[in-house]
Chain A
């Protein structure tokens, strides 16, 4: 998902030192579905996992503004432009809710930005694919946001209070995203031959990367058992991926689209759509920085950060001067 890199091994994993008592009490809180709040005692590895997960999620929202932002000025109508603008603003908002949630674990916003800009932190591989046509905006809303919702709804029940609360807000807003995307696809599919081809082409290019959003297959997935025990994660990657396929295939067929997977077929007995093997080599390549747009995404982010530096500096200096002036005026008046 937006945090799929969590399943990639971390270097230098430390083991929690002692305090079995506190750990047992902590696990009891989690087991009875109570929430863990910022200043409560928590195992260091729980804290570390959450910081990584929440910040990767936040970075994904922020980088995710780029592929869609690419089409704001070229949206085909004022209505589509207003909706896309609102959607991209939501992604910014989601990033900010999540950064705020991560900060409650004792990491600063500056550190989090630094981890993203230096390339130390990961973000979802999906945002390293280009948006070549308007239909891609439809495919992103329908598939990418659809996949995100599938993963995020269980996160609303995550054991860490601030993360769960942020996810509740995010989920409320995501459903608009998915619907606007599907509507774009439906409109194209009801249009000219060329428009239908455009929709089909977008599905062809976004389908497999969307399935990769759920992360590695369960048999190759690390970190899973801890995050399940801590109730950060509720369902496995493969479970969520299957749910997404089951929900999405009928939606695509309704539009008259075909999925780019010759092995896709409905298994009557299991009641699930069976699908072909994901190209894991591509998944690893894109995640490790070698996808079609990784360099561009990072370059844009770094430039934006650098270009805004003087604004942040000026605002801080202004705030300091105002405070000084106000206190000088107060002293003079006394």
Chain B
């Protein structure tokens, strides 16, 4: 097969109103309209969705897994970002 490769799209679906869109897989399609159609047929055959986003996979910028430590580790030591770091006098009650 020496065909032109069909572009790849990432699919995000919103299960119901009030929830964020969540990545669920990918589809191949020539354009955005057909990508949406394919995503509907492939990923929502049982009412799993009220909304779909598709985006060209090549448009996604991702962090490098090998940078995981320098990228995310610094927040590990910043315990003062959590409410439990602070003391509230008992007689003040819930805050």
Residues of A within 8 A of B (CB): 37, 39-41, 86, 89-90, 93, 96-97, 100-101, 103, 108-110, 113-114, 117, 165-166, 173, 305, 309, 312-313, 315-316, 318-319, 322-323
Pairwise interchain contact B26-A316, C-beta atoms closer than 8 A? no
Pairwise interchain contact A110-B5, C-beta atoms closer than 8 A? yes
Pairwise interchain contact A318-B30, C-beta atoms closer than 8 A? yes
CB-contact partner of A39 in B25, B34, B62, under 8 A: B62
Q: With CB as the reference atom, state the residue of chain A lying closest to B23.
A: A165
The number of chain B residues with a CB under 8 A from chain A is 22
Known contacts A109-B28, A312-B6; A90 and B1 CB within 8 A of each other: no
Q: How far is the CA of A18 from the CA of B43 in the complex (A)?
A: 40
Pairwise interchain contact A315-B66, C-beta atoms closer than 8 A? no
Pairwise interchain contact A100-B65, C-beta atoms closer than 8 A? no
CB-contact partner of B31 in A110, A113, A322, under 8 A: A322
Pairwise interchain contact A89-B25, C-beta atoms closer than 8 A? no
Closest chain-B Cβ to A92's Cβ sits at a distance in Å of 8
Beyond the given pairs A97-B42, A319-B34, 16 more chain A to chain B contacts, judged by CB atoms under 8 angstroms and listed by A's residue number, are A37-B65, A39-B62, A41-B66, A90-B45, A93-B43, A100-B26, A100-B27, A108-B5, A109-B5, A165-B25, A305-B1, A312-B3, A312-B30, A315-B31, A319-B30, A323-B31
Pairwise interchain contact B8-A309, C-beta atoms closer than 8 A? no
Q: With CB as the reference atom, state the residue of chain B lying closest to A89.
A: B45
Inter-chain contacts of B3 with A (CB < 8 A)? 110, 309, 312-313
Q: With CB as the reference atom, state the residue of chain A lying closest to B44.
A: A93
Q: How far is the CA of A312 from the CA of B31 in the complex (A)?
A: 11
| Dominant SS among interface residues on chain A | helix
Inter-chain contacts of B31 with A (CB < 8 A)? 315, 318-319, 322-323
Pairwise interchain contact B65-A40, C-beta atoms closer than 8 A? yes
Q: With CB as the reference atom, state the residue of chain B lying closest to A36.
A: B65
Q: Which of B49-77 contact A (CB under 8 A)?
A: 62, 64-66
- What are 26 A-B contacts defined by CB distance under 8 Å? A40-B65, A90-B45, A93-B41, A93-B42, A96-B27, A97-B25, A97-B42, A100-B26, A100-B27, A101-B25, A103-B8, A109-B6, A109-B8, A110-B1, A114-B1, A173-B45, A173-B46, A309-B3, A312-B30, A313-B3, A315-B31, A315-B34, A316-B4, A316-B6, A316-B30, A318-B31
CB-contact partner of B26 in A37, A41, A103, A319, under 8 A: A103
Closest chain-B Cβ to A221's Cβ sits at a distance in Å of 31
Inter-chain contacts of B64 with A (CB < 8 A)? 39
Inter-chain contacts of B66 with A (CB < 8 A)? 41
Closest chain-A Cβ to B11's Cβ sits at a distance in Å of 9
Q: With CB as the reference atom, state the residue of chain A lying closest to B48.
A: A169
Closest chain-A Cβ to B17's Cβ sits at a distance in Å of 22
Closest chain-B Cβ to A316's Cβ sits at a distance in Å of 5
Inter-chain contacts of B45 with A (CB < 8 A)? 86, 89-90, 93, 173
Inter-chain contacts of A90 with B (CB < 8 A)? 45
Against A, the Cβ 8 Å flags (1 = close, 0 = not) of B1-23 are 10111101000000000000000
Closest chain-B Cβ to A109's Cβ sits at a distance in Å of 6
CB-contact partner of A315 in B1, B30, B43, under 8 A: B30
Inter-chain contacts of A86 with B (CB < 8 A)? 45
5 tightest Cβ-Cβ pairs between the two chains A and B: A319-B31, A315-B30, A319-B30, A100-B26, A316-B30
Closest chain-B Cβ to A115's Cβ sits at a distance in Å of 11
Pairwise interchain contact A39-B65, C-beta atoms closer than 8 A? yes
Q: How far is the CA of A316 from the CA of B8 in the complex (A)?
A: 13
Q: With CB as the reference atom, state the residue of chain B lying closest to A172.
A: B46
Q: How far is the CA of A312 from the CA of B3 in the complex (A)?
A: 9
Inter-chain contacts of A323 with B (CB < 8 A)? 31
